[in-house]
Amino acid sequence: MSAGRSLLDKVWDAHTVRELPAGQTQLFVGLHLIHEVTSPQAFAMLRELELPVRFPDRTFATVDHIIPTTSQRRPLSDPVAEEMLVALERSCAESGIRFFDAASGRQGIVHVIGPELGLSLPGMTIACGDSHTSTHGAFGAVAFGIGTSQLRDVLATQCLALARPKVRRIDVTGKLAPGVYAKDVILAIIRSLGVKGGVGFAYEYAGPVLEAMSIEERLTVCNMSIEGGARCGYVNPDETTFEYLAGREFAPAGEAFERARVHWRRVASDPDAHFDDRVEIDGSRLAPAVTWGIHPGQNVAIDECLPVRGAASAEDEASLAEAFAFMDLEPGKPIAGVPIDVAFIGSCTNGRISDLREAARVARTGHVHPRVRTLVVPGSQAVDRQARAEGLDEVFRAAGFEWREAGCSMCLAMNPDKLVGREVCASSSNRNFKGRQGSPTGRTLLMSPAMVVAAALEGKVSDVRERL
């Protein structure tokens, strides 16, 4: 019997206020990130209860989902979006919450700005009213997406009532081949374990592939934990983590940083930690992945064919039938060569500077196919500035791509960036559910940003490795 503890257990125990009679834990939340879409109702509930925000200095706001990417000038062209923005401004001003609006120079997708500002730290508990809060686990934080009533609870008490998840350790061994990225790793994990495989679990990602990844790549992996059903996902903090955090605006500085580093090392899982389950995936065998269906688990490698019918369980067969009908694809045919209409590069999964650098490398090899419309949307204003400083915006423009301003954009299409009708979109985002990108009949193929560019240049799903 191993005596060591996992990071999840250490962080959980350190943040436990008390065990609740129903078996849940009252857990203190170190950092609360909010945005304009899920917070208004929670603030309204607080007003009704005449409760103040308990820890405004642990709460940070941004605007990301509804903000247009053509111009962020106020008032926003959509009056409903403007109203939501005004509501958030008012709530933040009344409660003393720091708001990174478009004029701040720090605005961006909530899961992009938390890391880049040094707000998300190892050993923290983090909550946000967005499913992809698991992203922040890249630092060795325990980070949960929460619903509106939980958001109210965190605003009022800085606590959440949660059941402790089990921990599944996922070791990705070997070394990734050129053209295979963090997105391909997480898509392979979800394909292997299933979209419900992680229910009741936290995923601890480890092994040589994760150790070799940059923080930005780890953010991509942790981001999609929720797509595999896991409550959260994390990577143990290491030198890569500390190096990334050093000098960030809200990270500890000077001696405080050195003290924090000692603490951060200790939160990593012990070498003899107990895990409820262990899985190993050979990273050296992975190829670029593309989703073909209506959830992220329905993905194949670029050199594979789509599944055939009749080989799965009754439940899986029903899901396959639904996916093939919606996507209008044929079982057993290659994924390579499927025509696309739209290419979207961005989102909290793949809208960071390293994503744009790699995508630009591929964009230099050609010109956008005449049938394809494109959007390159930096994940934050800081990413936008850095990309412009490196001339990446010009690389994309020269290749025929449209460069936009920071926001969630076509990941969820709550702003004007939407698919039209049955359009097929090669997308670097995280969800390919029906209607996710703004048209109820629009179709989404998830892939890495580099693969999105390859598809945009060819007008069809293509193997980026041929361009590297």
List residues near ligand SF4 by CB under 6 A. Answer: 64-65, 109-111, 130, 132, 347-348, 408, 411-412, 429-430
CB of 112 to ligand SF4, least distance (A): 8
Distance between alpha carbon 22 and the CA centroid of its chain, in Å?
Answer: 31
Structure-token pair, residue 270: 């012990």
Tokens 């930005």 identify what position? 216
Choice between 66 and 209, CB closer to ligand SF4 = 66
User: Identity (one letter) of the amino acid at 121?
Assistant: L
Strand arrangement, sheet containing 159-162: 16-19, 25-28, 159-162
Choice between 64 and 405, CB closer to ligand SF4 = 64
- Integer CA distances (angstroms), 276 to 6, 170, 204, 216, 279, in order: 10, 11, 11, 27, 10
* Alpha carbon distance, N-terminus to C-terminus of the chain: 48
Residues 447, 289 contacting (CB under 8 angstroms): yes
CB of 347 to ligand SF4, least distance (A): 4
How many whole angstroms separate alpha carbon 109 and alpha carbon 116? 11
Residues 424, 341 contacting (CB under 8 angstroms): yes
CB of 414 to ligand SF4, least distance (A): 7
Residues 235, 222 contacting (CB under 8 angstroms): yes
User: Quick check: helix, strand or coil at residue 139?
Assistant: helix
**Alpha helix ranges (H) inside 254-346:** 254-267, 314-327
Choice between 159 and 348, CB closer to ligand SF4 = 348
Q: Kind of pairing, strands 16-19 and 25-28?
A: antiparallel
CB of 16 to ligand SF4, least distance (A): 28
CB atoms near residue 21 (< 10 Å):
6
CB of 65 to ligand SF4, least distance (A): 5
CB of 465 to ligand SF4, least distance (A): 27
How many whole angstroms separate alpha carbon 314 and alpha carbon 188? 23
CB of 348 to ligand SF4, least distance (A): 3
Choice between 358 and 417, CB closer to ligand SF4 = 417
CB of 68 to ligand SF4, least distance (A): 14
What phi and psi, each to the nearest 5 degrees, are found at residue 452?
A: -60, -45
Choice between 81 and 206, CB closer to ligand SF4 = 81
Choice between 368 and 412, CB closer to ligand SF4 = 412
DSSP 87: H
Q: Residue 234 forms beta bridges with which residues? A: 204
CB of 453 to ligand SF4, least distance (A): 19
User: Identity (one letter) of the amino acid at 305?
Assistant: C
Choice between 377 and 454, CB closer to ligand SF4 = 377
Residues 88, 97 contacting (CB under 8 angstroms): no
Beta strands in 35-97 (DSSP E): 59-62
**Alpha helix ranges (H) inside 74-147:** 79-95, 110-116
CB of 146 to ligand SF4, least distance (A): 13
Choice between 130 and 216, CB closer to ligand SF4 = 130
Choice between 206 and 412, CB closer to ligand SF4 = 412
Choice between 38 and 269, CB closer to ligand SF4 = 38
Choice between 363 and 412, CB closer to ligand SF4 = 412
CB of 41 to ligand SF4, least distance (A): 17
Choice between 34 and 260, CB closer to ligand SF4 = 34
How many whole angstroms separate alpha carbon 235 and alpha carbon 213? 10
Q: Is 81 left (phi over 0), alpha (psi -120 to 50) or beta?
A: alpha
User: Quick check: helix, strand or coil at residue 365?
Assistant: coil
User: Identity (one letter) of the amino acid at 94?
Assistant: E
CB of 346 to ligand SF4, least distance (A): 7
Q: What is the gyration radius of the CA atoms in the chain, in angstroms?
A: 21
Task: Please say whether the dihedral angle defined by the alpha carbons of residues 129, 181, 396 and 433, taken in this order, is positive or negative.
Answer: negative
